[in-house]
Structure 1
């Protein structure tokens, strides 16, 4: 995202007021599903794993266990599809063979920095994306990296991976797509919402420095139970990003001037989330559904897409997250919150009831809706598989 994209988003959305959420907000995806199951009277057992994460045994009324939901596994997602989604390079391959627009990337080991830099800019690219091959939540991701800053961000990415248990660090250098990032959340084959993910930024008043504006924005974020958990940090990455824009923390932006502070659009780094499902084009929604359907046996996922505007007819997929954070859709900074956990439990139990011949707790209209959505999604999966089969036969 660039400043012009930021200006476009905030001038286009119809919302005037930020959403305010309570301080005791439940932001854990597993526990959000637990809340939904209790709401609709579905049997379950929550347990805490040795890893510290929660898991839910999803049960029928007779006490028999159907499946276990745990981070990072939705029980309806296949193991094969999930492994492909985690590997961003394999995901690109599957999407390309399905005829879907996505990025072009190369994968390197952490000791191949010089080779990666030389190849990345050999065709005249002004900026690229550097990211770990198989991490999520925006960790180690650096966007629109210029050649002069390549070594710095490569080492930053390596440092992030060094904090994990990996023996080998694989880094992906990806084509940079112009525009801004949106996240489409798909649950049980149904598009729940599309949100714009906005990186950390400040808006100038013509008098205060960026440093002071960050402090003021962090104070305002404390008023919201969701944003308060994610303050904007004056990190080296922020300082480097500002430097590349010809700015420092001491710079004073003009009145109403939007100043991006970092390239990664993640709420954990001080970003914001804007609900835009009803504002975006059919092509953006179709690409999201087709992208998830292109991975074998995948029903739930977060599809990250680059768009140039809300009406974009040629969007492109960046990556697919097989365990999307539901809070992005439940607690947008602007716009109507969605109910992904509600949809998941009702669709999941409707499907199990039909397969195993018992009465679903969903009302009759709800059952029809979930079944129709499943059938449409199965048709979509078949189309994507046929596209991939045809591509493989041509190679």
Structure 2
């Protein structure tokens, strides 16, 4: 169910049909929406995006999937098959615990306190439960308002002020903190995808400072469709943990030395998902599956479990009815799991064996009209279904500045082909064409040789193209190589400016040290003179000569 072709890196294996097929507009919070809709669209299922307005005038984008008279509406990863009752139960963490407890599923020991409960009542309960504790809102997700690892009464009172007064979460849960590793399991039809969540961290290389390592980590996160908007922010908690480890932002950690920057393993604040679907114990898998069965009407769910050696079955911390698919699709380490496929299989089992196309749609053209409120809904044009044939041609000769790319685009559209063309820094032109008819794709090489009137084509190199292709045909204004060169030049300039600034700072620090040394020398000389003067004043000779000094003073005044 979770198989597929993969794009390998040193640490992770992402799904090839999604790699380079996720536009920037789908990064972050809209990733689940986009990937489920894309999977359905690639099978020939009708996809419609629409917007809802709420009383606060916030934009809420939803989408529907329909096939042969059957239609379902979705909010992110929550579909119609998940009932309102199940949603309401899971939104209330205390109610969720009650349902789980009835099914003998382990949950943290704790108690709920309503808005009219005083802080003193919560503190009294905390003393009975025993520290360390966790304080969290009854109805919230993504780690919002959760204060973990509260070690004592002072910490608790500070947390209560923050959560109940500052964040306005007056209805809260106080629970015993469960030690162990943090897991998110995705359950659908008894199938499980699992990631272990690691708190935000950096690993020293013996060369870069803590600040630079955080910057490098954030640069990598920006490339990850799931993590791009979930960067490590250097706030009070991060600074505190850095100091606690004996470092500053300017320290250079030793090679291989790991520094944790967060207490919680929240992915929203810089945490990292590691796929452990193949390694996680059967006991934890069974706990997750039984947890979903314990909630009436719950079709799919993200189950948060903490487990250690003393409790191999784990303790269920939370149930999420709109679980993000990003951690499973783009883990930092391990193998991606094709959960969008499992989703569409679940809702439209009759399409399970449809050969999906490797095209993807222009999500920017979907989102922008909805965000600008210029359109109420947008229905996607259906793609050609089945195997996609694609070629990449490198065209050499006098082919830039002569209208070659416009001519190529016109030919591609006339032949119902998809892809793009772009100029290369070398003077060549890249042409990528894809379509469901293999002959149309292959014969396009002849058209590349032909070109418009003013073009002179010397050579056309041909290569099979296996990456996803966006539907339609684009003229890309600038090659990636040129953009990379510009970026490198910018980085080099910034590096040079930084080196100059560092040199200036070093010079100023040196001058400051010299001034400090001079000041210390003057201070020492002053102290020595004062000591000599004190000794002199206390000496016998000073006392014996006092009358003479008095006479001298009288003489001066007269």
Which bracket does the TM-score occupy, shorter chain normalised? 0.7 to 0.9
Match of 2:534 in 1: none
TM-aligned CA deviation for residue 59 of structure 1: 2.0
**Contact 1:58–1:68, Cα closer than 8 Å, also in 2:** yes
**What secondary structure sits across from 1:36 in the alignment?**
helix
Match of 1:175 in 2: 176
**What secondary structure sits across from 1:76 in the alignment?**
coil
- After TM superposition, the score normalised by the length of structure 2 is 0.54
**What secondary structure sits across from 1:215 in the alignment?**
helix
RMSD: 2.8
Match of 1:60 in 2: 67
TM-aligned CA deviation for residue 81 of structure 1: 1.4
Match of 1:122 among 118, 121, 128: 128
Match of 1:273 in 2: 273
TM-aligned CA deviation for residue 261 of structure 1: 1.3
Mapped partners of 2:125, 2:210: distance in 1: 35
Match of 2:161 among 132, 149, 155: 155
- After TM superposition, the score normalised by the length of structure 1 is 0.75
**What secondary structure sits across from 2:295 in the alignment?**
coil
**Structure with more of its chain in strand, by fraction:** 2
TM-aligned CA deviation for residue 161 of structure 1: 3.8
**Contact 2:200–2:262, Cα closer than 8 Å, also in 1:** yes
Report which of the two structures shows the higher radius of gyration computed on alpha carbons.
2
Match of 2:34 in 1: 31
**Contact 2:197–2:273, Cα closer than 8 Å, also in 1:** yes
Match of 2:11 in 1: 17
TM-aligned CA deviation for residue 247 of structure 1: 6.4
TM-aligned CA deviation for residue 245 of structure 1: 6.4
User: 1:199-228: per-residue Cα shift (whole Å, max 9, x none)?
Assistant: 111223467654443233223433444433
Mapped partners of 1:223, 1:66: distance in 2: 34
Mapped partners of 2:118, 2:243: distance in 1: 26
**What secondary structure sits across from 1:172 in the alignment?**
strand
The 5-angstrom pairing of residues 78-157 of structure 1 reads 78-109=83-114, 112-125=118-131, 127-147=132-152, 148-157=154-163
The 5-angstrom pairing of residues 191-230 of structure 1 reads 191-205=191-205, 210-230=210-230
**Contact 1:129–1:144, Cα closer than 8 Å, also in 2:** yes
Change (3 A) 1:252 1:150: farther
**Contact 1:101–1:317, Cα closer than 8 Å, also in 2:** yes
**Contact 2:107–2:315, Cα closer than 8 Å, also in 1:** yes
TM-aligned CA deviation for residue 107 of structure 1: 1.7
Change (3 A) 1:123 1:24: same
**Contact 2:163–2:170, Cα closer than 8 Å, also in 1:** no
Match of 1:363 in 2: 353
TM-aligned CA deviation for residue 363 of structure 1: 3.3
**What secondary structure sits across from 2:191 in the alignment?**
strand
Change (3 A) 1:81 1:308: same
**Contact 1:192–1:338, Cα closer than 8 Å, also in 2:** no
TM-aligned CA deviation for residue 153 of structure 1: 2.7
Greater RCO structure (CA 8 Å; 6+ sep): 1
Mapped partners of 1:215, 1:180: distance in 2: 26
**What secondary structure sits across from 1:53 in the alignment?**
strand
The 5-angstrom pairing of residues 338-357 of structure 1 reads 338-350=337-349
TM-aligned CA deviation for residue 191 of structure 1: 2.1
**What secondary structure sits across from 2:278 in the alignment?**
coil
Mapped partners of 2:205, 2:120: distance in 1: 42
**What secondary structure sits across from 1:80 in the alignment?**
helix
User: 1:297-329: per-residue Cα shift (whole Å, max 9, x none)?
Assistant: 1111000000226x9633111110011111121
Mapped partners of 1:94, 1:202: distance in 2: 39
The 5-angstrom pairing of residues 194-343 of structure 1 reads 194-205=194-205, 210-241=210-241, 249=249, 253-308=253-308, 313-343=312-342
**Contact 1:202–1:217, Cα closer than 8 Å, also in 2:** yes
**Contact 2:133–2:149, Cα closer than 8 Å, also in 1:** yes
**Contact 1:140–1:157, Cα closer than 8 Å, also in 2:** yes
**What secondary structure sits across from 1:33 in the alignment?**
helix
Match of 1:377 in 2: none
**Contact 2:136–2:145, Cα closer than 8 Å, also in 1:** yes
User: 1:161-197: per-residue Cα shift (whole Å, max 9, x none)?
Assistant: 43xxxxx72111111111121000112x232400011
TM-aligned CA deviation for residue 267 of structure 1: 2.2
Mapped partners of 1:348, 1:228: distance in 2: 29
**What secondary structure sits across from 1:197 in the alignment?**
strand
Gaps of 5+ in 2: 1-8, 355-558
User: 1:133-173: per-residue Cα shift (whole Å, max 9, x none)?
Assistant: 110111111221211322333333336743xxxxx721111
**What secondary structure sits across from 1:121 in the alignment?**
helix
Change (3 A) 1:80 1:285: same
Change (3 A) 1:247 1:293: farther
TM-aligned CA deviation for residue 341 of structure 1: 1.4
**What secondary structure sits across from 2:149 in the alignment?**
strand
**Contact 1:193–1:329, Cα closer than 8 Å, also in 2:** yes
Change (3 A) 1:286 1:158: same
Match of 1:74 in 2: 79
